[in-house]
């Protein structure tokens, strides 16, 4: 079993290049099935979630050529067959295939998607979207069978601005007849990225990045080339690491406006950084002050950076309060963080009170989910002594070459 071993306490300097966004790439790849010609996607991160999507493409008889960070996808010989449960269970984004296949063939059968167990994560809003477009959804054991004589544009109000339901509704409606309007849509940069990708193929999507998205159906989508946006969560993770251990650590390939909710909070805590158009340089300082965080949909503070921020808060003077409003179960990293020396009390599963400053000590810990794993990794980097992390498959799902990137700037971290 592979683990990560970290010797903590080393100063980091040099440059870290942020990879393409996981949550953008995992939507673009299934979306490419809607194209009637070949597509090419660049800046694809080298993570195991992308490996899993590639397996699904091959299963559907789609031709794939993956070289370094480029992915050429030719769906001309695609076969619409059931994706086996073991593949759809590998990740959350497998259900984007469900919407792309429904949009293309008006029929799809699919097992429940997987993903980190950080909450219940129902998909009722996606199914509501399918039904609004005229589809019938039948649930048989742990499989959905979805049929539509034809998909017809409709108006849909999402109960919450769900990223998944917004992407799924776009994918299912892009080739529907007439106009679809999504109200209370998610506004994440990944939504803008997927709308741009489809529009470059000839789709007619307006309003992505706002809470009302309008999709006018088209019948044909032509060949296209598209670049995955930089990963704002990976960028944020390295920025937090730089605040704790950096000596002029430069994080490159960033869109600073995408992580303003984090940078403004770090600045409030006393972090000094130099922000340029596509990079941020940060150095460690002492005397950070406690801050309060509340996770919210974009442009609010991202739930995906809540866990990676916890180690930073242990190094802030005073009591920081973290409120998690998106997921019910996103504090699973706390018990190991406390074992490493932190003083954190979790209340009602949605509130964490972090008292700092506490020194952290290396321990054997277990990643329980992707961002929780990243959080423990940051604890290991600042801890005294050796930290060994188990279950690192979670971390490798979303962070491209994390050990290599950190080693290059001076960290003592390796896969063992
Ligand atoms: N929700 C429902 N019903 C639905 C859809 C969502 O109740 O039909 C609830 C969820 O249970 C959750 C909230 O609404 O409480 C937000 O869920 P959303 O649909 O926005 O999340 P998602 O699409 O499942 C994506 C990312 C997550 C990220 C969230 C929020 C992907 C593949 N995943 O998930 O990323 O946390 O948006 O920004 O894009 C991660 O990268 O670690 C990760 C978990």
Q: Tens of pLDDT along the chain (416 residues)?
A: 899 999 999 999 999 999 999 999 999 999 999 999 999 999 999 999 999 999 999 999 999 999 999 999 999 999 999 999 999 998 888 899 999 999 999 999 999 888 778 888 889 999 999 999 999 999 998 899 999 999 999 999 999 999 999 999 999 999 999 999 999 999 999 999 999 999 999 999 999 999 999 999 999 999 999 999 999 999 999 999 999 999 999 999 999 999 999 999 999 999 999 999 999 999 999 899 999 999 999 999 999 999 999 999 999 999 999 999 999 999 999 999 999 999 999 999 899 999 999 999 999 999 999 999 999 999 999 999 999 999 999 999 999 999 999 999 999 999 99
- Ligand 1 atom with the smallest distance to the CA of 22 is 41
User: 21 CB less than 6 Å from ligand 1?
Assistant: no
Residue 158 sits in the same domain as residue 236: no
Q: Are residues 109 and 154 in the same domain?
A: yes
**Which atom of ligand 1 is nearest the CA belonging to 26?**
32
Cα gap 76→37, rounded to integer Å: 7
Instruction: Count CA atoms within 13 Å of residue 149 on its CB side.
Output: 0
Q: Give the whole-angstrom CA distance, residue 74 versus residue 64.
A: 6
Q: Which of 325, 385, 320, 381 is nearest to 355 (CA)?
A: 320
| C-alpha to C-alpha distances, 139 to 56, 135, 144, nearest whole angstrom | 21, 13, 5
pLDDT of res. 1: 83
Does one domain contain both 105 and 222? yes
What's the CA-to-centroid distance between 122 and ligand 1, angstroms? Answer: 9
Of 212, 227, 242, the position where a domain reaches its end is 227
Q: Which atom of ligand 1 is nearest to the CA of 49?
A: 32
Instruction: Decide: residue 67, CB within 10 A, 0-12 exposed, 13-18 middle, 19+ buried.
Output: exposed
Domain count of the fold of the chain: 2
- In DSSP terms, which residues pair with 143 in a beta bridge? 111, 140
Model pLDDT, residue 371? 97
pLDDT at 31: 97
* Ligand 1 touching residue 168 (CB < 6 A): no
404, 304: one domain: yes
28 and 142 belong to one structural domain: yes
Domain finish residue from 173, 200, 227 = 227
Q: What angle do CA 126, 90, 380 make, to 5 degrees?
A: 110
HEC string of the chain equals CCCEEEECCCCEEEEEECCECHHHHHHHHHHHHHCCCCEEEECCCCCHHHHHHHHHHHHCCCEEEEECCEEEEEHHHCCCCCECHHHHCCCHHHHHHHHHHHHHHCEEEEECCCCCCCCCCCCHHHHHHHHHCCCEEEEECCEEEEECCCCECCEEECCCCCHHHHHHHHHHHCCCECEEEEECCCCCHHHHHHHHHHHHCCCEEECECECEEEEECCCCCCCEEEECCECHHHHHHHHHHHHHHEEEEEEECCCHHHHHHHHHHHHHHCCCEEECCCEEEECCCCCCECCCEEECCCCCECHHHHHHHHHHHHCCEEEEEEECCCCCCCCCCHHHHHHCCCEEEEECCCEEEEEECCCCECCEEECCCHHHHHHHHHHHHHCECEEEEECCHHHHCCCCCHHHHHHHCCCEEEEC
The CATH number covering residue 241 comes to 3.65.10.10
Q: Tell me: do 218 and 242 sit in the same domain.
A: no
Neighbours of 80 (CB within 10 A): 15
Cα of 286 from ligand 1 centre, angstroms: 35
Q: Is residue 214 located within the same domain as residue 248?
A: no
Contact 78, 37 (CB under 8 A): no
Domain endpoint, select from 227, 243, 276: 227
Q: Is the CB of 278 under 6 A from ligand 1?
A: no
Cα–Cα dist 40/226, whole Å: 6
116 is catalytic: yes
Indicate whether residue 122 lines ligand 1 (CB < 6 A): yes
Q: For residue 369, which atom of ligand 1 is closest to its CA?
A: 42
Cα–Cα dist 128/171, whole Å = 14
Q: Which domain holds residue 268?
A: 4-19+230-415
Q: Are residues 300 and 192 in the same domain?
A: no
User: Is there a single domain that holds both residue 90 and residue 44?
Assistant: yes
Residue 337: its pLDDT value, please? 98
Domain match, 210 and 265 both = no
The answer, yes or no, to whether any atom of ligand 1 lies below 6 A from the CB of 125, is: yes
Distance from the Cα of residue 74 to its chain's centroid: 25
**pLDDT given for residue 273 in this prediction:** 98
The answer to whether residues 207 and 289 belong to one domain is no
The verdict on 173 and 300 lying in the same domain is no
Active-site annotation holder among 116, 316, 379, 403? 116
Q: Is the pTM of this model over 0.85?
A: yes
């Amino acid at each position: 079993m592979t683990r990560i071993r970290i010797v903590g306490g080393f100063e980091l300097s040099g440059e870290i290049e942020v990879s393409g966004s996981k949550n953008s790439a995992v939507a673009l790849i299934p979306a490419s099935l809607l194209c009637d010609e070949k597509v090419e996607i660049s800046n694809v991160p080298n993570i195991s979630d992308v490996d899993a999507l590639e397996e699904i493409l091959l299963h559907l008889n789609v031709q794939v050529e993956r070289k370094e960070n480029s992915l050429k996808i030719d769906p001309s010989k695609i076969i619409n067959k059931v994706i086996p449960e073991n593949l759809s269970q590998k990740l959350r984004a497998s259900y984007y295939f469900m919407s792309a296949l429904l949009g293309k063939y008006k029929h799809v059968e699919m097992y429940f998607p997987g993903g980190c167990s950080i909450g219940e994560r129902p998909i009722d809003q996606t199914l509501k979207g399918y039904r609004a477009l005229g589809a019938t959804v039948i649930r048989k054991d742990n499989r959905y069978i979805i049929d539509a004589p034809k998909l017809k544009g409709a108006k849909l109000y999402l109960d919450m601005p769900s990223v998944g339901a917004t992407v799924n509704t776009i994918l299912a409606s892009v080739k529907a007849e007439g106009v679809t309007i999504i109200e209370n849509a998610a506004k994440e940069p990944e939504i803008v990225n997927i709308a741009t990708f489809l529009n470059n193929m000839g789709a007619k999507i307006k309003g992505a990045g706002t809470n009302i998205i309008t999709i006018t159906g088209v019948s044909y989508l032509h060949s296209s080339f598209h670049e995955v946006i930089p990963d704002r969560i990976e960028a944020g993770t390295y920025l937090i690491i730089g605040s704790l251990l950096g000596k002029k650590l430069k994080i490159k390939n960033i869109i600073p406006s995408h992580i303003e909710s984090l940078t403004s909070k770090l600045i409030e805590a006393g972090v000094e950084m130099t922000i340029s158009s596509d990079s941020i340089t940060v150095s460690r300082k002492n005397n950070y002050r406690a801050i309060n965080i509340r996770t919210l949909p974009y442009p609010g503070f991202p739930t995906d950076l809540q866990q990676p921020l916890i180690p930073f808060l242990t190094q802030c003077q005073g009591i920081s309060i973290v409120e998690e409003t998106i997921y019910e179960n996103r504090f699973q990293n706390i018990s190991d963080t406390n074992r490493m020396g932190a003083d954190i009390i979790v209340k009602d599963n949605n509130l964490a009170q972090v008292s700092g400053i506490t020194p952290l000590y290396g321990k054997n810990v277990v990643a329980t989910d992707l961002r929780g794993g990243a959080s423990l990794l940051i604890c290991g980097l600042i801890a005294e002594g050796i930290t060994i992390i188990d279950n690192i498959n979670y971390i490798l799902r979303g962070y491209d070459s994390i050990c290599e990137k950190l080693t290059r700037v001076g960290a003592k971290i390796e896969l063992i």
